Amino acid sequence: MVDVPYCSSMRTKRLLWAAAGAVVVLLLAGVGVVLALRGGAEEPAPVAAPSSSVPSAAPTSASPAPPPGADITGPLDLLILGVDTRVTIADWQPHADAIMLLHVDAGLKSGYLYSLPRDLRVDVPAFAKNGYDGGRRKLTEAMSSGAKVKGTDKPNVAQGYELLAKTIRKYTGIKRFDAGAVLTFSGLSRLTDALGGVTIKIDQKVVSKHRRPDGKARTLRSGGGGYVGPQATYLPGTRKLVGWQAIDYARQRYTAGGDYTRQRHQRQLVKALLTQAEAAGLATDQGGLQSVLKALGDTLVFSGARTPIEYAYALRDLAPGKLTMVGLPGDSVSSGGDYLGEQLSSTGRGFLRAVAAGDPAAYLAKHPELVHK
């Protein structure tokens, strides 16, 4: 952890909340944020000081330049991934455990958050960077196929994101993603705690496969085949969850409704984080934001054509109440009794075509059953 510059306790808390709120919005919006498996963000190149041989310009009365990001008007299509890294397992390649897409309308004041099943059967394109030949696979495996680096067992998450994004564009018809985010469980948990936790209306009983009631990891069964010991349990009702609880609740798929329930819970968490960020107030102090980003440096690196601060400004009016949550129906695919993955229904595929065409609102007006209230 990198030390944050000293300031008064009240100012530190205020900046942390505001900056963490902005970070959450940035993650929702993609901005090319990657929660790395190892290492921190690279320091930006220093700006050269003006030469002393050049005289200073005389003051003018010209209007101030618009804030960075003011020229971003939308519409935007953004990709948000939750990645299972399993860094404790040798040779493990990262899988996309949660795959969410955010379409933001022109004007950047409203948007649509929807998910794709991790086990969706798709055609993964060939990938020249590591010699992957492509093939018919589960969508989650596009990340691991792209992340493999020739001559090493150390994965490249950004490379995995590249192939997964390419695969999703091919499947959905979306021409490009303006930005993307890859999140690890630990990074998102840290951000949740920085916001003071989140309030979620739990819609069904969820029993954790991974965590004990005290938050510690459950013990692997001797010889494999699952876990043993007491389990954290989340009961229906409005609950305030800390970081590990929020992530644990949102990652469970061995529950009623399976992975489609998990997708819904992940969207609930994203919207709850955005609501908490709005309540805290977006960061207007760039120094405060940079301090928090630096403090999160061991889990955050940035890339992309535009900076996080530019997207934070551009998305300042994207309120949680203007974010429509969409669930895409589907069912399983089997062959000879073997489970192969998932497929979306014709109604679900129709929504993807509407997004690619830039008119999801009209499609949802005809299919209101897709909207989660």
Q: Where are the domains of the chain?
A: 9-39+70-197+241-372
- Residue 120's φ and ψ, nearest 5 degrees, are -60, 130
Would you give the end-to-end CA distance of the chain in angstroms?
39
Q: Of residues 354 and 253, which shows the higher confidence score?
A: 354
The C-alpha atoms of residue 126 and residue 276 are separated, in whole angstroms, by: 41
What is the reported pLDDT for 13? Answer: 41
Question: For every residue of 146-208, which 3-state class applies, written as one string?
Answer: HHCCCCCCCCCHHHHHHHHHHHHHHHHCCCCCCEEEEEEHHHHHHHHHHCCCEEEEECCCEEC
What is the reported pLDDT for 140? Answer: 92
What is the helix (H) or strand (E) element at residue 147, kind and residue range? helix 140-147
Task: Judge if the upstream peptide bond of residue 44 is cis by omega within 30 degrees of 0.
Answer: no
Cβ(72)–Cβ(134) below 8 Å: no
Given the DSSP bridges, would you call strands 179-184 and 33-34 parallel, antiparallel or unpaired?
parallel
Instruction: pLDDT band for 194, please (50, 70, 90 cuts).
Output: confident
Cβ(142)–Cβ(93) below 8 Å: no
DSSP assignment letter at 269: H
What is the reported pLDDT for 206? Answer: 94
What is the reported pLDDT for 258? Answer: 85
Cβ(148)–Cβ(360) below 8 Å: no
Instruction: pLDDT band for 117, please (50, 70, 90 cuts).
Output: very high
Stretch 322-351: mean pLDDT: 93
Q: pLDDT digits over 245-300, tens only?
A: 998 998 888 888 888 888 788 778 877 877 776 665 544 445 545 544 554 554 44
Q: Of residues 276 and 14, which shows the higher confidence score?
A: 276
Sort 73 into a burial class: Cβ within 10 Å, 0-12 / 13-18 / 19+: exposed
For residue 37, pLDDT over 50 is answered with no
- Nearest by Cα to 251 from 262, 241, 264: 262
Biggest alpha carbon distance in the chain? Answer: 79
Q: Of residues 207 and 192, which shows the higher confidence score?
A: 207
What is the reported pLDDT for 105? Answer: 94
Instruction: pLDDT band for 47, please (50, 70, 90 cuts).
Output: very low
- Nearest by Cα to 271 from 24, 61, 72: 24
Greatest mean pLDDT among 156-160, 192-196, 274-278? 156-160
The two tokens of residue 321 are 């109440």
What is the reported pLDDT for 307? Answer: 67
The C-alpha atoms of residue 260 and residue 347 are separated, in whole angstroms, by: 15
Helix (H, G, I), strand (E, B) or coil at 157: helix
Stretch 45-55: mean pLDDT: 32
What would be the CATH architecture of the domain defined by 9-39+70-197+241-372?
3-Layer(aba) Sandwich (3.40)
- Residue 178's φ and ψ, nearest 5 degrees, are -70, -25
User: What is the pTM (predicted TM-score) of this model?
Assistant: 0.71
Cβ(147)–Cβ(85) below 8 Å: no
What is the reported pLDDT for 85? Answer: 56
Percentage of the chain exceeding pLDDT 90: 36
- Residue 76 burial (CB count, 10 A): 22
pLDDT averaged over every residue in the chain: 76
234 forms beta bridges with 206
What is the reported pLDDT for 293? Answer: 54
What is the reported pLDDT for 205? Answer: 95
- The residue behind tokens 């399976």 is 258
Q: Of residues 262 and 50, which shows the higher confidence score?
A: 262
Instruction: pLDDT band for 340, please (50, 70, 90 cuts).
Output: very high
The C-alpha atoms of residue 157 and residue 96 are separated, in whole angstroms, by: 10
Name every residue whose Cβ is closer than 8 Å to that of residue 137 and which is 6 or more positions away in sequence: 121, 122, 124, 145
Instruction: pLDDT band for 134, please (50, 70, 90 cuts).
Output: very high
Percentage of the chain exceeding pLDDT 70: 70
Q: Which of 5-14, 44-53, 166-175, 253-262 has the lowest mean pLDDT?
A: 44-53
Q: Which of 24-33, 236-245, 287-296, 360-369 has the lowest mean pLDDT?
A: 24-33
Q: Write b or e for each residue in 32-46: b if 16 or more Cβ atoms lie within 10 A of its Cβ, otherwise e.
A: bbbbbbeebbeeeee
